């Protein structure tokens, strides 16, 4: 599994009707993965995005790329993210999309892994 290397901030509306080519970092390449953080009340990591194309400039500024959005069956709420020593500093003051440090991406992947029964 590819570890997420960036975080995208979406409203609840974007999660229910995801863009075909969401905003991304200029360095985004096909095969990269991003964690989607839902903003507002009940925020947390709610989906993963797998980019299918490299980033391209948007006419109105910024960058976008083709993607497949995979909502999580069990999102990670903000309090869980903030309580984690690796993830807390990353998620505490989110303002826009950003790079996710590799160690934090690995920790997030571990927390999202299904629990064996």
Instruction: Tell the residue number behind the tokens 């999580």, with chain if given.
Output: 72
Q: What is the pLDDT of residue 114?
A: 73
Determine how β-strand 98-99 pairs with β-strand 56-57.
unpaired
Q: Which domain holds residue 90?
A: 6-105
pLDDT classification of 1: cutoffs 50, 70, 90: low
- Cβ contact 98:37 at 8 Å: no
For residue 103, the Cα-to-chain-centroid distance in whole angstroms is 15
The pLDDT tens digits for 33-81 are 999 999 887 889 999 999 999 999 999 899 999 999 999 998 999 999 9
Q: What is the pLDDT of residue 41?
A: 79
Q: How many folded domains does the chain comprise? A: 1
Please list, in sequence order, all residues whose beta carbon lies within 8 angstroms of the beta carbon of residue 110, skipping any fewer than 6 positions away: none
The answer to whether residue 37 is domain-embedded is yes
The answer to whether residue 24 is domain-embedded is yes
The pLDDT tens digits for 21-30 are 889 999 999 9
The answer to whether residue 64 is domain-embedded is yes
**Radius of gyration for the alpha carbons in the chain, expressed in angstroms and rounded:** 13
The answer to whether residue 72 is domain-embedded is yes
The pLDDT tens digits for 44-53 are 999 999 999 9
DSSP classification of residue 23:
B
Assign residue 12 the CATH number of its domain. Answer: 3.10.590.10
CA-nearest of 91, 111, 93 to 101 is 91
């Amino acid at each position: 599994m590819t570890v997420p290397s960036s975080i995208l901030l979406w409203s609840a509306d974007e999660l229910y009707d995801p863009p075909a080519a969401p905003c991304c970092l200029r360095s985004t390449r096909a095969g990269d993965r991003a964690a989607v953080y839902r903003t507002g009340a009940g925020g947390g990591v709610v989906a993963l995005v797998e980019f299918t194309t490299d980033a391209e400039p948007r006419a109105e500024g910024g960058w976008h790329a083709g993607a497949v959005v995979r909502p999580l069956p069990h999102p990670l709420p903000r309090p869980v993210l903030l309580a984690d020593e690796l993830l807390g500093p990353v998620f505490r003051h989110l303002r826009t999309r950003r790079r996710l440090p590799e160690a934090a991406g690995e920790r997030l992947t571990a927390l999202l892994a299904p629990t064996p029964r």
